Amino acid sequence: MTPGLRATALAKTTPAEWAVRFLLGGIITVCTGLVAHAYGPTAGGLFLAFPAILPASLTLVREHGGRRAAADDARGARLGTIGLAAFAAVVWLAGARWPAPVVLATATAAWTVACGVAWWMVYGRDAA
């Protein structure tokens, strides 16, 4: 399996489906803000790592592409979460010590490497 993008899939999405994504993403973002307000930015930050439109997207992918396509997207989200953890670890460890552009570049590189390694461990070994 190779990651890819199909522009034709965008044409199949209706305005109502875009509205559902926007609404659910907004609700999740508001809930994250409430958690941050009640329990502080650390707790809120943990919830921000949750992709805001993932639940709506998986529902719509399942509707258009079937259960297998939705499962593939969910697997991709899990691999992306590993990258988010690597990004967050770099920011947490270096954020107060290094200049912001260096932290951002290093965290982005860590995200890229972590996602690549995770993908290779799950899918790449079969291709090799």
Report residue 4: phi and psi, to 5°.
-160, 175
Considering just the CA atoms, what is the radius of gyration of the chain in Å? 17
How far does CA 118 lie from the centroid of its chain? Answer: 14
pLDDT at 12: 74
How many CA atoms does the CB half-sphere of 31 hold within 13 Å?
13
Mean pLDDT per 10-residue segment, the chain (128 residues): 67 81 82 89 74 75 84 85 90 94 96 93 73
pLDDT at 112: 95
Residue 10: C-alpha distances to residues 6, 57, 83, 92 (Å): 8, 12, 26, 36
Q: Where do the structural domains in the chain lie, given as residue ranges?
A: 13-65, 78-128
pLDDT at 62: 83
Distance (Å, rounded) from C-alpha 111 to C-alpha 88?
9
pLDDT at 1: 57
Identify which of 59, 65, 77, 79 has the alpha carbon closest to the alpha carbon of residue 18. Answer: 59
